[in-house]
Structure 1
Amino acid sequence: MATIEILGVPHSYELTAPTSSPHALVFVHGWLNSRGYWQPVISQLSVDFQCLSYDLRGFGESQSQPDNEVNRAQLSVSFAANSTSAVDSSLESTYTPAAYAHDLVVLLQQLHITSAWLIGHSLGGTIALWAANQMSDRVKGVICINAGGGIYLKEAFEQFRTMGQRFLQVRPRWLSQLPLIDLLFTRASVARPLERYWARQRVIDFVVADPEAALGTLLDSTTEEEINRLPQLVSQLQQPVYFLTGSHDKVMEPKYVRHLASFHPLFQYCGDNVIEIPDCGHLAMLEQPEAVASHIQAIVNGIGA
């Protein structure tokens, strides 16, 4: 594990050795997760591609805010200076997908990664789409995993936001010490039970996530404005965009993945840019790492692209 400062905020990341491929694979985790969830996939892909995984600001081992007031001011100035008319409102908060995408832009610049495919899970998929929009010269394509949407259902989203806030309130540090608490996380949001190791990691990430970042990302990524902006964002991207969905995903159902995918030219008339993984829930990279890695490799190598 290495640490790098992005706009004054220390971030934890892991970067595998360079390979003969001109493209790096950059993995963006989802809400209340961390970079470690990508390791089963990265272990299969790092032979052929340099792979970068990192903890989003406020999650895993990355800090949420700069260390001092000077750096906090610089962070705000940077968001303002790099915003455009299309993303101005999305950079007003430091916890919008566009703001996290700006972190990713800076990260790739600092690591001198000039050609990348972005692979994002759930919220990480939205961040990847925003990042592709912000740096079309560096991003060669996007692969969204268990990510979709673009339809704002007022009652459903209000309920989701309320439940999410209550969920975040029940996070005492001692929770991770409770015997067998990880058993609850072996089955949550997945089609088949996870190994205890990953369930334990889910408990840890749930507990250690910065309260402000956890709540901020929940609220700022689910506003009516943000949700309705997604289809337009996808339609404007010039790079190829693919979507991997779990057939049994109850968090982001396949029909919502297909809806967002349909706004990209690659969709054609029958969903050519959508790949459904059988017997899979919302954590495809842990439930079906071999399938996910295989699909990523095929896409990046140009099969069907």
Structure 2
Amino acid sequence: MATIEIFGVPHSYELTAPTSCPHALVFIHGWLNSRGYWQPVISRLSDDFQCLSYDLRGFGKSQSRSKFQLEGTERVSQLKFINDTTTQVVNDSVDSLYSPSAYAKDLIALLETLNIGSVWLIGHSLGGTIALWTAAKLPECVKGVICINAGGGIYLKEAFEQFRATGQKFLQVRPRWLYQVPLIDLLFTKTSVLRPLARYWARQRVIDFVVADPEAALGTLLDSTTEDEVNRLPQLVSQVKQPVYFLAGADDKVMEPKYVRHLASFHRLFQYVGDNYIEIPDCGHLAMLEQPDAVADHIRSLVIGDW
């Protein structure tokens, strides 16, 4: 594990050795997760690709400042947008500290600092949205995007209001001693997955749930689920010129396959029959833990196929 400062905030990351592939793979975790969830997939790919995983600001071992300011740190002049319409979509995002667009700026700065100039982005759930924003902001560097258990683009008012309210209540019950409660991890072996996870991963889920910065946890929940943010997603996907693929868990109850396919349909690769949509059987919302072989195989074939 290494640490690097991005806009003054320490970020934890891991970077494997370079390979003959000209593109690095960058893995972006989802809400209340951390970079470690990618390890089963990275272990299957690191011989062929250099792999970068990192903890989002305020999650895992990356710190978060309550008064963190992007003011004075934007590098808009360095970003080469695709065209005028894409620039409009990117600039229309309300840049709070915890919007997907703000996290995309963090990632762009991380890539610049590490001098990584050619990447494929692999994002899980919320990480998929961050990957899409990054691809729109940095097209000369991002060669493609693979969204895993990530979709949406349809704002259902009552459903989202209930989701946000439930999420806020969920975040209120996070005492530090929770992970020490006997057998508490058994609850986390079954949440959001088709079949129970190994207890190692369940314990990690408890730890990540407890240690996530309160402001970042709440901020990402609220800022990524506003009506504007949700409705902006299809337009964003349609204007990303790089290849974008969507991997869905066939049994995902958090982000159902129909919503993943819906968002995938706005990209040019969809071609009316879903050429950029891949469904993974026997899989819930944590595909990288539930089906690491399938996820790694799909990533390898998509990246090499475009190389």
TM-score range, shorter chain: over 0.9
The amino acid across from 2:250 in the alignment is S
Q: Which residue of 2 aligns with 1:177?
A: 180
Over 3 Å counting, the alpha-carbon distance change for 1:55 and 1:161 in structure 2 is same
Tell me if the contact between 2:287 and 2:295 (Cα under 8 Å) persists in the aligned partners.
Answer: yes
Please list the CA deviations of residues 16-37 of structure 1 after superposition, one character each: whole Å capped at 9, or x if unmatched: 0000000000000000000000
Q: Which residue of 1 aligns with 2:100?
A: 97
Give yes or no for contact 1:79–1:99 (8 Å, CA) kept in 2: no
Q: 1:294 aligns to what?
A: 297
**Equivalences for 1:165-244 in 2 at 5 Å?**
165-244=168-247
Partner amino acid, structure 2, of 1:59:
F
CA distances 1:127-152 after superposition (whole Å, capped 9, x unpaired): 00000001000000000000000000
Q: C-alpha displacement at 1:195, in angstroms?
A: 0.2
State the 1:65 CA deviation: 1.7
TM-score normalised by length of structure 1: 0.95
CA distance in 2 between counterparts of 1:204 and 1:90 reads 32
Q: How far off its partner does 1:88 sit?
A: 3.7
Report the equivalent of 1:251: 254
Give the 3-state SS of the residue equivalent to 1:11 in structure 2. Answer: strand
CA distance in 1, matches of 2:71, 2:57: 14
8 Å CA contact 2:90–2:137 kept in 1: the answer is no
Q: Is the 8 A contact 1:80 1:88 kept in 2?
A: no
SS class of match (1:188): coil
Contact 2:90–2:136 (CA under 8 A) maintained in structure 1: no
> Residues 99-137 of structure 1, C-alpha deviation per residue, up to 9 Å, x if partnerless?
000100000011111100000000000000000001000
5 Å-filtered alignment, 1:138-153, equals 138-153=141-156
Secondary structure in structure 2 of the residue aligned to 1:19? coil
CA distance in structure 1 between the partners assigned to 2:246 and 2:36 by the alignment: 21
Match of 2:35 in 1: 35
Q: Does the alignment pair 1:78 with 2:81?
A: no
1:180 deviation in Å? 0.2
What percent of counterpart residues are identical? 77
Q: Secondary structure at the match of 1:77?
A: coil
Query: Counterparts of 1:240 and 1:18 in 2: how far apart (Å)?
Result: 23
Displacement of 1:77: 2.4
1: distance between equivalents of 2:110 and 2:95? Answer: 20
The superposition leaves residues 148-200 of structure 1 with CA deviations (integer Å, 9 ceiling, x where unpaired) of: 00000000000000000000000000101000000000000000110000000
Alpha-carbon offset, residue 90 of structure 1: 2.7
CA contact (8 A) 2:145 2:242 kept: yes
- In the TM superposition, residue 236 of structure 1 has moved relative to its aligned partner by 0.1
Give, in whole Å, the separation in 2 of the partners of 1:85 and 1:264: 18
Is the CA contact (8 Å cut-off) linking 2:95 and 2:101 kept in structure 1? no
Gaps of 5+ in 2: 80-86
Query: Aligned equivalents of 1:91 and 1:152: distance in 2?
Result: 17
* Deviation (angstroms), 1:291: 0.4
